[in-house]
Structure 1
Amino acid sequence: MASHKLEALQAAIELALGEKVTQSTLALDELTITCKAENLLEVATLLRDHEAVAFTQCIDLCGVDYSAYREGLWDGQRYAVVYHLLSLEHNWRLRLRVFAPDDDFPLLPSVVDIWNAANWYEREAFDLYGIVFEGHPDLRRLLTDYGFVGHPFRKDFPVSGHVEMRYDPTQQRVIYQPVTIEPREIVPRIIREEKYGG
């Protein structure tokens, strides 16, 4: 039953978007489509407004760093944004994936004017991955401090970070200083069955 519904959705997507979809994948009872960054706003508008699909809600949006994907064998663009869409009218979901064309400065158009729920999700992807959303009304950090250096969900971000923040009682303010935590390996203690309880 679920596969028949997904095939109907895939056919409706092909009817609504045609060649604007560069890839369409049915896997694990979900449909994922991919489009080019330059077509994102047109594709998003068609997905929302075309009566055959009617994806009126963006229920989630997340950034992805593919640099370590498939153990570093990935041969495509590094950064992508994945939009999770919901059609209440047709009771189906869709995953839309768009790759940022420039790995050094990942830039995509904002979809806030199409789905206003994307506002904070885009801010989160900007904060954690450094993906810039052109046309966003207030693109600034959401989860990290304004003075935070880097983007912590990037695969090349150091595990311990660059700086740490603490309150200095003598200066009576928050200060930043280089990380002072010494990296260490934690080796789990193994309890052998023959010595257990003895």
Structure 2
Amino acid sequence: MSDRLVHLAANLEKVLGKRVQSIEIALGEVTVVVNADTYFESAMLMRDDPSLAFEQLIDLCGVDYQDFRDGAWNGQRFGVVSHLLSLEHNWRLRVRVFAPDDSYPLVASITPVWSSANWFEREAFDLYGIIFEGHEDLRRILTDYGFIGHPFRKDFPISGNVEMRYDPELKRVVYQPVTIEAREITPRIVREEQYGDPV
């Protein structure tokens, strides 16, 4: 285990204090889990405290932990994972926060802290349905505005809810119920006529 990672973990423990649920050092990276109610405050501290100085948010994504580890997961269903970079100290950090309510996943927006979180949070909202409280423009970014549901949730049907096609009579795109028919898939073996004959 690197001394730098141990030093970073100690700095996090000192600066964040009771805001931290856990700190783990694994696979050459530090992961800190923070409480949802202090997520925004923790983000401000991680950016502004000179002993941490995480100036950049590199990535943010939503996670659906339903059936995680083959159903052995006992925690909250939805989480948000962020990756931060400190140019000053040349270290990286993974920050994880869990939405306290599975039926209405809500966490604070960290867009005021790192503006790069803007589209990442919109993506997590669009694909997982995670609400980012305080986000100024939380709307879909990858799916159509009329899309029903959140396609990266583990309980989203594989075939979807509706399908989209171009209607040549109406000369526009229309939505209709999914029309996937069950079919039997029988592999075809195509060989040349002389296959297997002695030469």
Q: Is 2:7 the counterpart of 1:5?
A: no
Q: Cα distance 1:184–1:111, how it changes in 2: closer, same or farther (>3 A)?
A: farther
Deviation, 1:183, is 4.6
> Percent of aligned pairs with the same residue?
63
Q: How far apart are the structure 2 equivalents of 1:30 and 1:189?
A: 49
Q: Secondary structure in 1 aligned to 2:100?
A: coil
AA aligned opposite 1:81: V
Q: How far apart are the structure 2 equivalents of 1:169 and 1:147?
A: 21
Q: Cα distance 1:47–1:183, how it changes in 2: closer, same or farther (>3 A)?
A: farther
Q: Secondary structure in 1 aligned to 2:76?
A: coil
AA aligned opposite 1:126: F
Partner of 2:175: 176
Give deviations 1:131-187, integer Å, cap 9, x for gaps: 011111111111110111111100011111110111212112211001112255768
Indicate the structure (1 or 2) with the bigger Cα radius of gyration.
2
Partner of 1:118: 117
Q: Is 2:139 the counterpart of 1:165?
A: no
Give deviations 1:23-51, integer Å, cap 9, x for gaps: 00111111100011100011000000000
Partner of 2:140: 141
Deviation, 1:66, is 0.5
Partner of 1:46: 45
Q: Secondary structure in 2 aligned to 1:97?
A: strand
**Normalization by structure 1: what TM-score?**
0.91
Identify the range of structure 1 (9-18 vs 46-55) with the bigger mean alpha-carbon deviation. 9-18
Q: Cα distance 1:187–1:68, how it changes in 2: closer, same or farther (>3 A)?
A: farther
AA aligned opposite 2:123: E
Partner of 1:36: 35
Q: Cα distance 1:185–1:129, how it changes in 2: closer, same or farther (>3 A)?
A: farther
Q: How far apart are the structure 2 equivalents of 1:112 and 1:171?
A: 42
For the aligned residue pairs, the C-alpha RMSD in angstroms reads 1.8
Q: Which ranges of structure 2 fall in alignment gaps of 5 or more residues?
A: 190-194
AA aligned opposite 1:177: Q
AA aligned opposite 1:124: E
Q: How far apart are the structure 2 equivalents of 1:122 and 1:173?
A: 31
Deviation, 1:124, is 0.2
Q: Cα distance 1:128–1:80, how it changes in 2: closer, same or farther (>3 A)?
A: same
Deviation, 1:57, is 0.6
Q: Secondary structure in 2 aligned to 1:141?
A: coil
Identify the range of structure 1 (43-52 vs 157-166) with the bigger mean alpha-carbon deviation. 157-166
Q: Secondary structure in 1 aligned to 2:111?
A: coil
Q: Cα distance 1:24–1:177, how it changes in 2: closer, same or farther (>3 A)?
A: same
Partner of 1:61: 60
Partner of 2:76: 77
Q: Secondary structure in 1 aligned to 2:2?
A: helix
AA aligned opposite 2:98: F
Partner of 2:154: 155
Following superposition of structure 1 onto structure 2, how do residues 87-126 of structure 1 map, counting pairs within 5 Å?
87-126=86-125
Q: Secondary structure in 1 aligned to 2:38?
A: helix
Aligned residues: 191
Q: How far apart are the structure 1 equivalents of 2:166 and 2:52?
A: 52
